[in-house]
Homo-oligomer: A and B are copies of this chain.
Amino acid sequence: MSRTKIIDALKSAPGERITVKGWVRAFRSNRFIALNDGSCLNNLQVVVDFENFDEKILKDVTVGAAISVEGNLVESQGKGQAVEVIADTIEILGTANPDEVSKTILQPKRHSLELLREQAHLRFRTQTFSAVFRIRHAMAFAIHKYFNDNGFFYLHSPIITGSDAEGAGEMFRVTNFDLDNIPRTEEGHIDVKEDFFGKETNLTVSGQLEAELGATALGQVYTFGPTFRAENSNTSRHLAEFWMIEPEIAFADLDDDMDLGEDFLKYVIRYALENCMEDLQFLHDREVKLDSQKPQAERNELPLIDRMKFVLENDFERITYTRAIEILRNSKPYKKNKFKFPVEWGVDLASEHERFLVEKHFKKPVILYNYPADIKAFYMRNNEPDEEGRKTVAAMDVLFPGIGEIIGGSQREERFDVLKQKCADFNIPEDHVWWYLDTRRFGTVPHAGFGLGFERLIMFVTGMTNIRDVIPFPRTPKNAEF
């Protein structure tokens, strides 16, 4: 008899005869098995009349064991579920020794997130992490669906790259050398020509430049792939390996880019609300409970689902960097010397400033744009100097409550001569980016794009506060287990 998934069994009408398979979450009073197969958050209750079963079998129905159950689906007598299964036969698929289970996170009690990370291979079996990773799936699908429905083409930008033009931080080296025996040139230098790719290669920090090549031919493309930073940051917001989404659109300016970013974020958040409510409600309740144990100042102003709806219901506030500086300098915390970092035109805003703007001043998502040229990347489009002669670029950041920057984007410098000059100013050798410059020589067009850190988005829609808890197997300094 073919297996029914628990997500389907829970929606089925009483009366059906079914076979379900899954892992035992609990076995109460030698009578009620809570069975979960990962298809959804909720367990199916299996009712056992112990007189009908061999004691030897029931002895193996322990937390963590895998079983197959055949029986009738009936209306549930208990609270908390509409249906339950009256077991006729139980087959043990895989046992789980209770003494061994008690040393793992499978043991049904609260475990620290640290311990759960150490047992990342088992944490998919917990309620919290199964919810997080089902939502992560849904968000990935929503992203592909959004772009597909809107005529974007998915472009796989290269992971191993010989280009280091983006310069977004330290890079990991990729090599085929035997490190005990690296070939040298006659002058004693490392002979990179002898390496696999015939030159120095690294793991990509961004697929943007390649996405521009696609967009200036196919019109609208996006990347969705892993990116890497070899930064020694042991924080709750940094990973050495993370996933990025980078759409790039031709015939577009910064306004179009901001429109895209806002529409895109609202779409995927709405998708979560429409498709993941059971898991969201669980994480929402979890957060509310955790918050209730915290001092007032550390609690979320709004709980998870309300934060998500809040983003949907508000137009994002769009203000220039220059205006943001004015607002900050006129703010109470500035006047009372409460900001730790300086606020003046030309500096990069710190997290405290961004949070003030989003959470206190505007009380909604904010898009800052037209940043000082000196603090932004070479490929961003130069604006006309402002009335005071200050140089800005057509860059934009989308700031979210609790998260800070969730999107960073810009219109790209499409003017060949200006871009050549910017390469020179940023010390980027033209022969490293000849192919990038070429797109400006052959029918260049205004174009723009942005980058979204996928894990930042997942943090926002799950309420998890450590980025290591929203990716299956986090890579961080001194940690590449599993």
Contacts and interface: CB of A to CB of B under 8 A. Distances in A.
Interface of A: 3, 5, 7, 21-24, 37-39, 64-66, 68, 93-97, 100-101, 104, 106, 121-122, 124-125, 130, 133-134, 136-137, 140-141, 144-145, 148, 151-163, 170, 172-177, 179-180, 182, 190, 196-199, 201, 203, 210, 213-214, 217-220, 225-226, 228, 230, 232, 240-241, 243, 250-251, 414, 435-436, 438-446, 471-473, 475, 477-482
Query: How many copies are assembled?
Result: 2
A313 to B, nearest CB: 26
8 contacts: A122-B438, A140-B144, A158-B241, A159-B159, A159-B241, A172-B176, A173-B175, A174-B174
Contacts of A182: 179
Contact of A121 (B23, B213, B241, B472): B213
B443 A94 contact: yes
Contacts of A219: 5, 22, 37-39
B435 A482 contact: yes
A122 B90 CA distance: 62
Given A218-B130, A478-B198, A226 B159 contact: yes
Contacts of A130: 217-218
Nearest to A474: B158
Most buried by B among A38, A106, A210, A228: A38
A237 B106 CA distance: 44
B162 A480 contact: yes
A170 B178 CA distance: 12
A210 B133 CA distance: 14
Contact of A156 (B65, B141, B157, B243): B243
A2 B177 CA distance: 53
Contacts of A243: 156
A251 B240 CA distance: 34
Most buried by B among A95, A243, A250, A436: A250
A343 B188 CA distance: 51
A66 to B, nearest CB: 4
Nearest to A141: B148
Contact of A213 (B124, B141, B156, B440): B124
Contacts of A148: 137, 141
A197 B479 contact: yes
Given A213-B121, A214-B133, A439-B121, A179 B174 contact: no
Contacts of A180: 190
Most buried by B among A24, A37, A159: A159
Given A151-B7, A179-B190, A219-B39, A440 B201 contact: no
Contacts of A190: 179-180
Given A130-B217, A179-B179, A218-B38, A100 B155 contact: no
B226 A480 contact: no
B240 A160 contact: yes
B160 A482 contact: no
A442 B64 contact: yes
A331 to B, nearest CB: 38
Contacts of A37: 219, 250-251
A182 B190 CA distance: 13
B442 A214 contact: no
Given A124-B213, A153-B133, A214-B124, A442 B101 contact: yes
Given A38-B219, A122-B442, A154 B141 contact: yes
Nearest to A134: B153
A479 B198 contact: yes
B174 A172 contact: yes
Contacts of A250: 21, 37-38
Given A442-B122, A481-B435, A160 B241 contact: yes
Given A179-B179, A480-B162, A443 B95 contact: yes
Contacts of A144: 140-141, 144
A369 to B, nearest CB: 21
Contacts of A136: 153-154, 156
A433 B167 CA distance: 36
A30 B433 CA distance: 35
A170 B219 CA distance: 38
